[in-house]
Chains A and B, each alone.
Chain A
Amino acid sequence: MTLPIELLIALVVWGTFVGVDLVSLPQMMIARPLVAGAVAGAILGDIPTGLKLGVVFELLQYDILPVGAVRYPEYGPATVAAVATAHASTGVLGLGLGGLVGLATGLLGGVTINVLRRVNSRIVHAASAQLESGDPGALVRLHVGGLLRDALRAALVTIVGLVLAWLARPLGGVLSPRGAILLAVAIVGTALAAGAAGTLRLVGRGPNLAWFAAGLGGGIVATIWLR
């Protein structure tokens, strides 16, 4: 992956926005892989690749229900890195390598979210006396500090993701065509499974299961009809 510096900066800025949107501000769902991927694709002038990787990571996102303090991977900046990787390769190879880089970045993003929350906990604990005194200035400073740390975290995750994309470049030269397909099959297959399993967890065994089956049936009919 060799990209002009202005595109790399645009990707880092976009990845930072995406990373901050996940939890901190404003949760308008630009952190969803579908959106993160489409815009990353648009930045690179390759929207189809952005949409394809966006769909792969959106399916993986179904594996997660972000309730309470649950720990989860971060697929927003991961999708940006995945699209940057895939853009440099062609076809199935891009899908596989992009997916691999995105998964590694998603894992890293999840770890950093947990670390950030621990750091925030320590800082909040240290500021307990000020908080108990009801000092509004201290309260706002503490909160803005958390926001800035999250922005820094998101930027770092995106940068590491783009470095991984660059490091993955030689793999494209050594993987055989069959090997590239195999890698893409592994990633797309598990993403589809994660999407189906995650949805079934949401659906449960109640009446919604019949709606899910109806949708599945309709989707299968539409797929066959459109072939």
Chain B
Amino acid sequence: MAPVKRPLARALLRLFAVQGSYNYERMLGVGVGVAEEPLLRDLDDGKYRPAVARGAQFFNAHPYLVGLAVGAAARAEHDGASPDQVERLREALCGPLGSLGDRLIWAGWLPFLSGLTMAAIALGVGWTAVAVFLVVYNIGHVALRWWALKAGWTHGTRVSIALHHPVLQKAGALLGPAMALSVGAALPLTTAYLSAPFPPWARVGLAIVAALSFLALRLRGDRVNGLRLSLGLAAVALVVGLIWP
């Protein structure tokens, strides 16, 4: 097999745009095919095009962990796995990569750092907090994308080994509590920060609106979401504000 550093780097760069053609038919499939293609270029002529076509089939997972499937499928193609095996591998990875990424990133790393940043802004740190958020978040983001691609390429069809990596397990166990703690602490601090310019009567009003809205979102979350509720109440407030001298 030819040296793979350059194709891996190309695949990594393309992975940053893996959702560029997101659609309801193949979901991330086209983006996955585009990312996998550099890793397939040294296959024989008769194997290259069918492998590219397989790479672009339906696929859905967390975007940061898609590299694991891209690397594993490309490696399996190189190792001479049958088309059925490659397709089964891709199918088997969709669910675990989705749930692991959602737990680690969308429900862990991102809200954890976002909560810390909101708290820092409320405490007067200013734009520096946002800059630190961007840098720290992306250290984790890029590291995860690179690790996923390399792990997939290393393990091929035995990629499930990588999913049980102790660092992933530990990160999953730590990020849940850390996220809960940071956002929990941020909520009262941001309340004070946002309500600072309000007069006392408006702060009482804010407490009532927040409490009733919270109940609506908790009890009627299937029908009401934050945007609709906020727009609805803003419209009512606007009308009242226009007629209340």
Q: Which residues of A contact B (CB under 8 A)?
A: 23-30, 32, 34-35, 38, 41-42, 47, 51-52, 54-56, 58-69, 73, 91-92, 95-96, 99-100, 103-104, 106-107, 110, 117-118, 120-121, 123-125, 131-136, 139-140, 142-147, 150, 171, 174-176, 178-203, 207-209, 211-220, 222-223, 226-227
Contacts and interface: CB of A to CB of B under 8 A. Distances in A.
29 contacts: A29-B141, A34-B117, A34-B133, A42-B127, A55-B194, A65-B102, A69-B27, A95-B197, A96-B234, A124-B21, A134-B52, A143-B17, A144-B20, A176-B244, A182-B202, A184-B202, A187-B237, A188-B206, A192-B187, A192-B214, A193-B213, A193-B214, A194-B229, A195-B183, A197-B218, A202-B107, A211-B181, A219-B189, A222-B185
Given A118-B23, A185-B209, 4 more contacts: A134-B49, A186-B237, A190-B234, A194-B229
B22 A32 contact: no
A90 B37 CA distance: 53
B230 A186 contact: yes
B55 to A, nearest CB: 8
Interface in B101-124: 102, 106-107, 110-111, 114-115, 117-119, 121-123
Chain B: interface size category:
35 or more
A178 B243 CA distance: 10
A190 B119 contact: no
Contacts of B237: 96, 179, 182-183, 185-187
Interface stretch (B147-155, B162-170, B172-180): B172-180
